[in-house]
Structure 1
Amino acid sequence: MSTRTLIKGGQILSMDGNVGDLRGDLLIEDGKIADVRPEISADAEVIDASGFIVIPGFVDTHRHTWEAAIRGCAPNATLDDYFVDILDTFAPLYRAQDVYAANLAGALECLNAGITTVVDWSHINNTPEHPDAAIKGLQEAGIRAQYAYGSANTSLADYWFESKIAIPGDDVRRIRDTYFSSDTGLLTMALATRGPGFCVDDVVRSEWALARELGIPITVHVGMGRVAGRFGMITQLNDLGLLGPDTTYIHCCYFSEDEWRLVADSGGTISIAPQIEVQMGHGWPPVMKSIEHGLRPSLSIDVVTTAPGDMFTQIRSAFGTERARVNAECWQANVDIPETMLTAQDMLEMATVNGAHVAGLEARTGSLTPGKQADVVLLDARMLNMAPVIDPVTAVTLCADVSNVDTVLVDGVVVKRGGQLVADVAAARAGVEAARDFLVEQAAQRQTAAPV
């Protein structure tokens, strides 16, 4: 039996040049967007969107969702601190049940904030049970996700900086066969690799070959701070013959001009985590640099150990820091501000349709285009932090926050209604709090037992 939902009378920001922006109606049929017009009559469940701004769901192209259980544990951390405080302290302690609890709560956090798609960069596969638990959490939350299978993290010395331990191909194949035999589901798969500098060349080659054997995309951190910045990772990948359009490069703060050209020429994609990059010392978010090279940068949250987990924060961080950088350079050179200065519209594109492009899902989501899956967010623009609305794009990018996220649909299914998640939030919170209690206690015991 066909299911139909009619979102009626909203200010629609479609992120599709052919559809445009309009005050009108959006019809959903069997999980897909069927029509977007000023007036639609249909036998359907009606969602009254009067006073609301209707946008595509946000797309987060890189989040370590497993870290939701240790939220806020490293507010003052630099990137160097992160390797010790998170990957060498908490990560080895994670049980599969902790990963499940964190992924469930973390994915619900995304939905609550209007993020309908997340790339879950899951480098916590300490046992074969860990990836199963991570995927279960994503499934139960009902989010659209690309599960990026990463390495174990039981020892900083073993898994980072010239590591000789590759991601286990047999288990990656098992996960692919078990959960992702089709690439058309709500969940899809990628490989989260560490790359050159973090691994020896043989490991790098083997991981890239594994992903390409299985036909899944690759996602890797590059060009960040004193750590990966000094490795010249894009140059090394090029020397290894591994660059390609199936790879997303995260951060990219320290690229030479040659490396930018290599990424652009190879068809690679870019994920930027601006709040983390400026706060933890990765470098300036390379928003305009990527655009200047013909790329379509996306936004990501990265780690909730150190920054908020919502897209509004990332939009404003990228917007503010990039404009501050350009303004300062122009002031110093005593020249006019360029016409290419970032706009609010640019930021909304990065958070939606660009994110879908980077996640390889632009044919399914990222814009309110008839034929795409219905990943839709209604923002309550009647609230005082958004009202009165003059420019809807500005209202979304520079005024709204999580409190305005009233209704969220993923694949046509309502997962948040009237400002409340359609989920057992209390159970999810209890699970992630129990995981926190265990991890914090175990970390404290290890620290006490460590030799002075």
Structure 2
Amino acid sequence: MNTRLLLRNGHVISMDPQIGDLPHGDLLIEDGTIVAVGAGLAAEVTDADVIDATGRIVVPGFVDTHRHTWETAIRTCAPDATLDDYFVEVLDSFAPLYRPDDVYASNLAGSLECLNAGITTLVDWSHINNTSQHPDAAIAGLRESGIRAQYAYGSANTSLATYWFNSAEVIPGDDVRRVRDTYVPGDDGLLTMALATRGPGFCQDEVVQAEWNLARELGIPITVHVGMGRLAGRFAMVEQLDRLGLLGPDTTYVHCCYFSDHEWRRVADTGGTVSIAAQVELQMGHGWPPIAKSYQFGLRPSLSIDVVTTVPGDMFTQMRAAFAGDRARINATSWEADTTVPETMLTARRVLEMATINGAHVAGLEDRTGSLTPGKRADVVLIDATALNVAPVIDPVAAVVLAADVSNVETVIVDGIVRKRDGRLLADTVRARELVEGARDHLVTELAKRKADAA
């Protein structure tokens, strides 16, 4: 089996400042590693499988730093929901009904959805561990898809009152240790691990301390929702974490829509990272996506999808929501003040950074993905720039951020393995769809029964 793969004559957007953009670039992959990026490599390489990238834009795989992948089976169930509605309509209704098989089907179909859209790395924020079989099922779905994933072990979700209102329920440490030992004993594989904690505002201080200590005992990062929505934004969660002495470089803060400047400074000073789900935040009432604030305090924000119950599952949507939302807010503020817009206004290239290299940084994987840099693992996406919705191309970065969509994702490579080629996923998508439709049927039927019994 040939382990060398050559992408020939594409417009390479490397996201590596040392390499830059190459209008006619080649990329050589060997044993899953990028070994060379440059012009004219094809003339020197004769023993590789070749993908002709002429007319294609070659970018690093997108990185989704926060997605509740288990919700794939209930896609679009809450189109008009606010964040407050979501807690009732999803976490207190569908979540308690999930079987391990439903989680497996959702994670498999959801991960394939990611790959189809050019998302090669996924942080799976999995707060659906209602039994010890649920995390096993989630991991099985991730692994089967072939995506690069960080499995973030979260709490159970069997009762809104038990798990989200001043909760006294600690994520079960013994089961987290079991999953760590069984599936993710190291940190250098395609699957890595994190802890998805509810954090202050949702949990009692003793629970927060126990969960942070658990993650640090196991040497895994922490990911937590903070500063979002009508209620959660009032909790000053970072201030609480600071008082508990828990802030650190191993923590990703998700949303961050309602931070004081002191909280932003503390996150930055302690090395924290930020994940922004722009479409959800704008649509569900979390608050303005805090992109400008992140950059103001020297942070490198990333992008995430969050929930397909309410928004699309592709990174193109998130890039555009982030770009439009941040610029709309700044434009409006400048108009009100009758001043010119600042030079720091968000640019298309910076948005692409958020979706690629920044995402890798936030997921703790910048040493292996996020840019097309020799020595990194080969997570690569080819976008068809000859399609009518993309052509003609003047600015290739703008073409990706503002013109392309999922239909233009032609080739997807993860860890050197081609997962999508010629616009077709190399997976049993029919089986995945049937499984997730079966999960949907079970969940919708069970919820209807429970509502009828309660009536």
Q: Which residue of 1 aligns with 2:293?
A: 289
2:21 counterpart residue number: 21
> Matched residues in 1 for 2:428 and 2:279: separation?
30
Off by >4 Å, runs of 4+ in structure 1: none
2:119 counterpart of 1:119: no
Once residues 100 and 37 of structure 2 are traced to their aligned partners in structure 1, the CA distance between those partners, rounded to angstroms, is 43
The one-character-per-residue Cα deviations of 1:244-294 (angstroms, maximum 9, x if unpaired) are 000000000000011000100000000000000010000000001000000
**Equivalent residue number for residue 202 of structure 2:** 198
Deviation at 1:2, TM superposition (A): 6.1
> 2:153 aligned with 1:149, yes or no?
yes
Q: Number of residues paired by the alignment?
A: 451
* 2:395 paired with 1:391: yes
Q: Given the alignment, which residue of 439, 448, 451 partners 2:452?
A: 448
In structure 2, the partner of 1:67 is: 71
Residue 183 (str. 1) matches residue 187 (str. 2): yes
Work out the CA distance in 2 between the residues paired with 1:383 and 1:363.
33
Measure, in 1, the Cα distance between the counterparts of 2:262 and 2:454. 45
Q: TM-score by structure 2 length?
A: 0.99
What residue is the counterpart of 1:410 in the other structure?
Answer: 414
For residues 31-430 of structure 1, what are the structure 2 equivalents within 5 Å? 31-40=32-41, 41-42=44-45, 43-430=47-434
Secondary structure class of the residue paired with 2:267: helix
SS in 2 for 1:152: coil
Q: Please state whether the residue corresponding to 1:284 is helix, strand or coil.
A: coil
Give the letter for the 1:30 counterpart.
Answer: D
Q: Distance in 2 between matches of 1:124 and 1:330?
A: 43
Contact 2:60 2:372 in 1 (8 A): yes
Q: Distance in 2 between matches of 1:92 and 1:187?
A: 26
Q: Deviations over 1:101-132 (max 9, x none)?
A: 00000000000000000000000000000000
**In 1: Cα distance, 2:301 partner to 2:187 partner:** 24
Tell me, what secondary structure is at the counterpart of 1:6? strand
Q: Distance between the aligned counterparts of 2:402 and 2:392, measured in 1?
A: 13
User: What amino acid does structure 2 have at the position aligned with 1:69?
Assistant: A
Mapped to 1, the partners of 2:365 and 2:379 lie a distance apart of 12
Q: State the shift of 1:224 in Å.
A: 0.2
- Confirm or deny that 1:8 pairs with 2:40: no
State the secondary structure of the residue aligned to 1:332.
helix
Provide the rounded CA distance (Å) in 1 between the counterparts of 2:7 and 2:177.
41
Which residue type is aligned with residue 7 of structure 1? L
Q: What is the CA–CA distance in structure 1 between the aligned matches of 2:2 and 2:311, rounded to whole Å?
A: 42
Counterpart CA distance in 2 for 1:399 and 1:28 is 28
Residues 36-45 or 48-57, more deviating: 36-45
Separation (CA, whole Å) in 2 of partners of 1:131 and 1:437: 22
Give the Cα separation in 2 of the matches to 1:258 and 1:202: 24
CA distance in structure 2 between the partners assigned to 1:114 and 1:334 by the alignment: 41
Instruction: Give the counterpart letter for 2:26 in structure 1.
Output: D
**Deviation of 1:29 (Å):** 0.2
Separation of aligned partners in 2, 1:385 and 1:2:
35
Matching residue of 1:30: 31
**SS of structure 1 residue aligned to 2:223:** strand
Spell out, residue by residue over 1:275-333, the C-alpha distance to the aligned partner (whole angstroms, 9 max, x if none). Answer: 00010000000001000000000000000000000000000000001101001101110
CA contact (8 A) 2:2 2:48 kept: no
What's the CA shift string for 1:353-412, capped at 9, x where partnerless? Answer: 000000000000000000000000000000000000001000000000000000000000
Q: 2:296 and 2:40 mapped to 1: Cα distance? A: 39
Q: What SS is found at the alignment partner of 2:202?
A: coil
What is the deviation of 1:14?
A: 0.1
CA–CA distance in 1 between the matches of 2:311 and 2:17?
33
- In structure 1, distance between residues paired with 2:410 and 2:238: 42
State the 1:161 CA deviation: 1.6
The whole-number CA distance in structure 1 between the counterparts of 2:84 and 2:296 is: 30
The alpha carbon displacement at 1:19 in A equals: 1.0
Amino acid at match of 1:36: V
For 1:306 and 1:207, how far apart are their aligned partners in 2?
29
1:227 Cα deviation (Å)?
Answer: 2.5
Structure 2 unaligned blocks of 5 or more = none
2:19 corresponds to which letter in structure 1?
Answer: V
- SS of 2:340's partner is coil
> Whole-Å Cα distance in 1 between the matches of residues 118 and 241 of structure 2?
35
2:231 is paired with a residue whose SS is helix
Q: Which consecutive unaligned segments of at least 5 residues does structure 1 have?
A: none
**Alignment partner of 1:53: what SS?**
strand
Distance, in Å, in 1 between the alignment partners of 2:295 and 2:48 is: 41
User: Displacement, 1:449?
Assistant: 1.0
Q: Any idea what SS the aligned residue of 2:40 has?
A: coil
CA distance in 2, matches of 1:2, 1:320: 44
The aligned amino acid for 1:197 is: G
The amino acid of 1:352's aligned partner reads: T
| Larger displacement relative to structure 2 (442-451 or 199-208) | 442-451
